[in-house]
Structure 1
Amino acid sequence: MMHTFLPFVLVMIFVIVLLNIWANKLKIAYPILLVLAGLGISFIPSLPIIKIDPDLIFFIFLPPLLFEASWHISFKEMKKWWRIIGSFAFLVVLFTAFLVAIVSNYFIPGFGIALGFVLGGIVSPPDAVSTGAITKFVKIPKSTAAILEGESLLNDASSLIILRFALIAVSTGHLVWMDVASQFTWMLIGGVGIGLIVAFLFMQIHKKWSTDGPSDIALTLIAPYFMYWLAEQAHCSGVLAVVSGGIWMSAQRLVFLPSSSRIKGYNVWESFVFILNGSVFLLIGLELPEIVEGIKGEGIPIRTAIGYGIIVTIVLVLARIISSYIALLSTVIFRPTVVNARIMTKRSWLSPLVLGWTGMRGVVSLAAALSIPLQLGNEPFPHRNLILFITFVAILLTLVVQGLTLPYMIKKLNPFRGLENEECDDFHTRTEIKKGLKQHVYVHIKNKYDNDEKWIGHVGMEKVLKHWENQTNTEDIRWIDDNIKEVLLEMFAVQRAYLHELNKDPNINEEIIRAQIHQVDLEEERIRFV
């Protein structure tokens, strides 16, 4: 078994790398090529049918993918746009699931409202990985990017909650709403609470144990699995546990992770998540033959099943576009102070259309569909294979059609023209931060060391002062002795503290702050090994 499975995994990773290189050359999102490649490979004769265990995706793939996404999101931006993020992550998902349930009940024979909500809970959440990979090649305002990132982190939890209650309704035929309300509350509060508690414990381990780079990286790799598993064991949301814990650890990274661990961990996580993402999207395409066999077993023509999938996909797209316009109108009506009248041009009213077009589906929808039980009592679960097929069609259409047309739509409609004034000029902001950073360090050195007799006439200290005063770098490092190295390391800590305080300014993009901290970390590592 291992001799056949291991070559398959190695070939799969090799194919993922090749397709990613090709996608970068074509300037399209790699999930699109991976799904199409998996679909094409699945038609190869005599290829063994791939059976995906939903627990494998939920437990092995989902926690690290969510943790990595939450690690890179700006909590400051999430707080700034929490209303629209919350509405898209919960209200829009519920609205989408409701529309899918109504349409499925009307168009698909044998589908009741409860079964429609099962399908709606599965296909309602846009995928964080798909959206992030596709928007990488298009220029969108940072406010829109923050909304998409924040929504994609939270909507998985709300959709899985809907699915859980819909499955109960299908199996029992009814729901006790008081029980639903209490369980829903526990899933939310318990999930967030367990995530924060586990994050706190892991941060204490990082701070109080004598960990090094490899140990720190290993701890960050297992942390999301602990969060997810403990939350699921407590019957609350494992997704919310990973997201809440990941966001808090990300915000505290300067406190419990040294610069070497941050630098090494960034590279490890980038490669690890790339392989996980690629594997999942390739497996989505490879899963098709088993799904098609299931459809044939139910006696449903493939053309008919494809038609159902197209109808549901259209509902998903329209529901998101409608919700985007409702969100914009609500902001204009109820929070006019947030909207700058100068930027509300006719073209800006096209932005909800683009926001609505970003709802690509992916790994969570597939895993949720596969999690449907095979049996309901002594009978097969009704229309399980059809739900799987519709889910696959929705993933394929949203990834390929929306993913390929989104860059063209943004370029053609240019809906964000006029919104430039609300965004920071990144180049100007970066320049001002660097200038302020150097001035801050220079003043710190002058105040602390300039009048200290120990350092008067010290060649190394004169070099340090000259370095920061002239804001230049020198390749001559022979002047760095142990005492000067200690001073320089202190300077790096001062810089990070300055950047941390600067990040509290809501008008400064956090990505710029993080990039500058990464530069400081790199410089510190260079000095450590001089």
Structure 2
Amino acid sequence: MIEHFQFYLSLIVAIILLIMLANKIKVAYPVLLVVAGLLISFIPGIPAIHIDPELIFIIFLPPLLYEAAWSISWKELWKWRRIIGSFAFVVVFLTAISVAFVANYFIPGFSLALGFLLGGIVSPPDAVSASAILKFVKIPKRMSSILEGESLLNDASSLIILRFALIAVATGQFIWYEAAFSFSWMVIGGTGVGLLIGWLFMKAHKYLPTDASMDTILTIVAPYAMYIAAEEVHSSGVLAVVSGGLLLSNRRHRFLSASSRLRGINVWESLVFVLNGLVFLLIGLDLPEIVSGLGGVSVSAAIGYGLLITAVLIVVRILSAYGAVIVTLIARNFITVADTRSPGFKAPLIMGWTGMRGVVSLAAALSIPTKLYVGGPDFPQRNLILFITFIVILTTLLLQGLSLPYLIKKINLPSFNDHLPDEESDELIKREMSRFALDHLTDHYGEVLVKSPFLQQLHEKWKIKVDEDTDVKLTPEIKNAYLDVLDKQRMWLIEQNHDNDQRFDEDIIRKHLMKIDLEEERILLMH
């Protein structure tokens, strides 16, 4: 690897330039990176790229999942838990079954077990691709929340299917009660391990004498600890990272200082930026090695199989999206659902069209062993499965990735009015926070307020809701009073969010929490 260090360094520079270009021409960067990697791979003299699946599973997957868990709104995740659960587990399973039967019927040499293996590999949509595409268009909050929540869980369900399928192919049999027990342990064990390790890290942040740099390093170590620990006890590492990440994210204001939160955001944004860029570029660069392993199957036939499986994935997801709506409309007569209104035909179509595949599918395909067992025969159809997976990733990124923004604009989705408009929410939160701060300052710091020009200015600022700084020197007494008010504002915002106040989108709440963190950091740095 050392001899190719300059090449890998140049890839980082290429990623930055390509993402800048993608933002300029308003194309999702995963699309551009995969195509660029594909083109680069044909340049003479380029070093052969071999992607080790353990590299992706261990190095790339835990931090990417962990960052997604920190970014998602727990309130929205819980509100839409039924539809998210159905897409993340039921739809993934139905997709794998559909692919199994189609592959068994149309692809020579594919048994049902091999088809189920392929289905488990290509069934989970990629979260990064969808989020990169959706940033160029505006969709209702409920849809983005469902997509984000689904992407957190569908990787786990697909990798569970992968494990069972590998056992079925290797042994030639499928014992349902053993599979049911194994599935239960992977779900319960993975979730439990993630929560336990997340709790331990939360206590470490809270009680150890850490600073902002140490806290940031601990947040980087946490997902790897969760993933490896869960895999060591043969449960789901993905669910461990997701459950632990959600626990820590939801309680971040209890154990991390404002400084740690602010610095951590900057570090994680840069880390995820590089990891995502590398993964998608490496997918394109890996094509020559995949093609060279096809053996007796012609490239044209393999492409045809890949396009057939892609069509199955798209059709099944769209049908599942409409099926989910029908089930919800029926279920609302018997149970309480998040929304009783019919979304019409537009929203399910968009949900169905957001099924771009990516890094997890490729890593899963690469994880197939070369031999059925040690010293045994070659694993059947391994290279063809790899090639089909690559075609699925490339086709869904290009076809759905490039057309999705146009489709969203053309369809003109309803707003659903789940929350107040952002501008209205922003003004309402500012006004209510100002009123809350005024009451707290007057009730608890009346004497300090009388003798402090700084607090008097703040009092007036909150009264008229304007932004103005002051260069007045603060005494410890005044500084403590102001920091206490900021902390009370922070707690008020968190309570508003946890009380399931559906007026406010959690993203707006988080924006104001960050403003408070920035103000607290500014005050602490003042002499």
Question: TM-score by structure 2 length?
Answer: 0.96
Q: How does 1:332-411 map to 2 (within 5 A)?
A: 332-335=329-332, 338=337, 344=342, 348-377=344-373, 378-411=376-409
- Please tell me whether the aligned partners of residues 50 and 286 of structure 1 are also in contact (alpha carbons under 8 angstroms): yes
One-letter amino acid of the structure 1 residue matched with residue 345 of structure 2: W
Quickly say closer, same or farther: Cα 1:476–1:241, change in 2 above 3 A. same
Match of 2:115 in 1: 116
**Separation in 2, partners of 1:459, 1:424:** 36
Contact 1:67 1:242 in 2 (8 A): yes
Asked if the contact 2:79–2:338 (Cα under 8 Å) also holds between the matched residues in 1, the reply is no
SS state of the match for residue 472, structure 2?
coil
Match of 2:252 in 1: 253
Matched, 1:329 2:326: yes
* 1:171-182 aligned within 5 A: 171-182=170-181
Distance 1:294 1:202, change over 3 A: same
Aligned partners of 2:467, 2:37: CA distance in 1, in Å? 50
Offset at residue 485 of structure 1 (A): 1.2
Which residue of structure 2 aligns with residue 477 of structure 1?
A: 471
Matches within 5 A, 1:38-437: 38-295=37-294, 298-335=295-332, 338=337, 344=342, 348-377=344-373, 378-414=376-412, 416-417=413-414, 419-437=415-433
**Matched residues in 1 for 2:435 and 2:178: separation?**
60
Q: 1:289-308 CA deviation, whole Å, 9 max, x = no partner?
A: 0000001xx21110000000
Structure-1 separation of matches of 2:145 and 2:231: 28
> What is aligned with 1:515?
511
Amino acid at match of 2:493: L
Amino acid at match of 1:407: P
Distance 1:246 1:81 in 2: 19
- CA shift for structure 1 position 335: 1.1
AA aligned opposite 1:262: R
- The 1:338/1:194 distance shift into structure 2, 3 A limit, reads closer
The TM-score normalised by the length of structure 1 is 0.96
Residue pair 1:331, 1:339 contacting (<8 A) in 2 also = no
- Structure 2 CA distance for aligned equivalents of residues 481 and 474 of structure 1: 20
The separation in 1 between residues aligned to 2:256 and 2:307, in whole angstroms, is 48
- How many equivalent pairs are there? 520
Counterpart AA for 1:23:
A
What displacement does 1:344 show? 4.2
- Deviation, 1:399, is 0.7
User: Counterpart of 1:499?
Assistant: 493
Displacement of 1:420 in angstroms is 3.9
Shift of 1:352: 0.8
Q: Is the 8 A contact 2:49 2:286 kept in 1?
A: yes
Residue matched to 2:445: 449
1:140-185 alpha-carbon deviations (Å, 9 max, x no partner): 1100111000001000000000010000000000021111111100
Q: Which amino acid aligns with 2:398?
A: V
- Quote the Cα distance in structure 2 between the aligned partners of 1:331 and 1:455: 55
Tell whether 2:520 aligns with 1:524. Answer: yes
Flag structure 2 segments of 5+ consecutive residues without an equivalent. Answer: none
Off by >6 Å, runs of 4+ in structure 1 = none
Offset of 1:44 from its aligned partner?
Answer: 0.9
CA contact (8 A) 1:90 1:158 kept: yes
Change (3 A) 1:47 1:456: closer
CA distance in structure 1 between the aligned counterparts of 2:521 and 2:385, rounded to whole angstroms: 52
Distance 2:223 2:370 in 1: 29
Query: What is the deviation of 1:505?
Result: 2.9
Structure 2 SS opposite 1:476 = coil
- 1:462 correspondence with 2:456: yes
| 2:451 alignment partner, SS class | coil
In the alignment, the residues of structure 2 paired with residue 218 and residue 479 of structure 1 have an alpha-carbon distance, to the nearest angstrom, of 34
C-alpha spacing 1:338/1:179, structure 2 compared with 1 (3 Å): closer
CA distance in 2, matches of 1:57, 1:339: 36
Q: Output the CA distance in 1 between the equivalents of 2:138 and 2:452.
A: 50
* SS of residue matched to 1:421: coil
Q: Using the alignment, how far apart are the partners of 1:96 and 1:20 within structure 2?
A: 32
> Once the 2 structures are TM-superposed, how far is the Cα of residue 323 of structure 1 from its aligned partner?
0.3
Letter in 2 for 1:505: N
By how many angstroms is 1:400 displaced?
1.0
Q: Give unpaired runs (5+ residues) of structure 1.
A: none
Distance apart, 1:474 and its partner CA: 3.2
SS at match of 1:379: coil
State the SS of the aligned residue for 2:297: coil
